[in-house]
Amino acid sequence: MGMPPKDIKPYDLWEQITALPRPHRVVPFPRFNEDGESLGDIAMVVLTQEEVTAANISAEKYVRKTFKDNVGEIPMVNEKSEGYANLFSSRASTEILFRACRKVDDVEKAFFPSREAIGQRLTTDEVAVLMNHYMRVQSELGPIVSNMSQEEMDAWVEMLAEGGNAYPLDLLSSVQLTTLLVYMASQLHASRKANSSPGTQPENGITTV
């Protein structure tokens, strides 16, 4: 990644980073023709925390309505059955994929026409494969601290922290917040290790380990 640019003010750099397109990766659609070739590709984007929350809320509403319409009542929290949990997990996957799967030629557009299309047209295995793709993309395109040296990390932390103080954190995506958090946690951990050692005697007289 390299050191942060010196010709950009911290606030301006922070604003530019938050304006960058979300990371995505093109993955094969898990259905194949007679020759064993994928029928097409999907652009898989990393969802924001707000989108994941919306997906969970939507899944919960769907499950509650389904139980009410077909069972006649909604299970209490301490009564939720395995069927309720399975239905929620299945619908949550649908909600995630509906938001994360985009068209390759335009990642701003959803790949699937609707949530219902996912449930009606895809098999359970195909949904599972796509969810595995999403989890891998989220993991690999998320925090980038592992690719940075300590010097680079310290420089970015200092600059981004200064810029972040002047920019609302609630406007950041989950990936951006996670990346900054990892930076800060790494720096804090390194600082604590540098300032303490096994058997040191602090002012309160208690030996630290």
DSSP 74-118: PPPGGG--HHHHHHHHHHHHHHHHHHHEEETTEEEEESSS-HHHH
**Cβ partners under 8 Å of residue 60, min gap 6:** 88
pLDDT at position 15: 62
Q: What pLDDT is recorded for position 67?
A: 83
- Packing angle of the helix pair 150-164, 10-19 (nearest 10 deg): 90
CA 82 – CA 138 distance, rounded (Å) = 28
What is the length of the chain?
209
CA atoms of 13 and 7, how far apart (whole Å) = 10
User: Does the pTM of the predicted model rise above 0.85?
Assistant: no
Residue 29: phi and psi, rounded to 5, are: -70, 130
Predicted pLDDT at 145: 42
pLDDT given for residue 33 in this prediction? 86
Which token pair is 147?
A: 């690719």
Give the sheet arrangement for strand 24-28, strand by strand.
24-28, 41-45, 101-103, 106-110
* Distance (Å, whole) CA 20 – CA 17: 5
Spatial distance between the Cα atoms of 102 and 130, rounded to a whole number of angstroms: 12
Instruction: Render each residue's pLDDT in the chain as its tens digit; 209 residues.
Output: 455 556 666 656 666 555 556 778 899 999 988 888 888 999 999 888 888 899 999 999 998 898 888 877 776 665 667 778 888 899 999 999 999 999 999 988 999 999 999 999 999 999 999 999 998 888 767 544 444 556 666 666 666 666 665 554 554 555 555 665 666 666 566 666 666 655 544 444 444 43
**What pLDDT does 37 receive?**
85
Question: How far apart are alpha carbons 143 and 183 in whole angstroms?
Answer: 9
